[in-house]
Amino acid sequence: MSVLSKLNVGDSAVLVALDLPESVQNHLMHMGFVPDALVTVLRRAPAGDPTVYSVDGMEIALRRETAAAIRTRSIKVKAEPPELPRTVGGKDTAQLIEAAR
């Protein structure tokens, strides 16, 4: 378990809880910051604060102190293997792979 402010640009995590005053919590929840939502860190300001996050198709900038009060759970992203072209130089890829063995 971690907090939103500790994620690096490009990282994604699942929201667990918002440890914020009720008014701020309600405001963020209306924008999609709800438990089990997927959040991705998009970019940081040159000085490091604020940071722009993507949640539920929206881009939202949060200050570090607010993001530090949002608990997250990291996710494991399984990379898809690259798709091989069906032909290379007019020859079937499967035949080329077999010939290479």
Q: pTM of this prediction? A: 0.71
Domain 2-77: assigned CATH number: 2.30.30.90
Helix (H, G, I), strand (E, B) or coil at 100: helix
Cα–Cα distance measured from residue 40 to residue 67, given in angstroms and rounded to the nearest whole number? 12
Query: What residues contact residue 58 under an 8 Å CB cut-off, 6+ apart?
Result: 31, 32
Cα–Cα distance measured from residue 38 to residue 56, given in angstroms and rounded to the nearest whole number? 7
pLDDT tens digit sequence for 30-68: 999 999 999 999 999 988 899 999 998 899 999 999 999
pLDDT tens digit sequence for 3-25: 999 999 999 999 999 999 999 99
Domain ranges (residues) in the chain: 2-77
Query: What residues contact residue 30 under an 8 Å CB cut-off, 6+ apart?
Result: none
Helix (H, G, I), strand (E, B) or coil at 28: helix
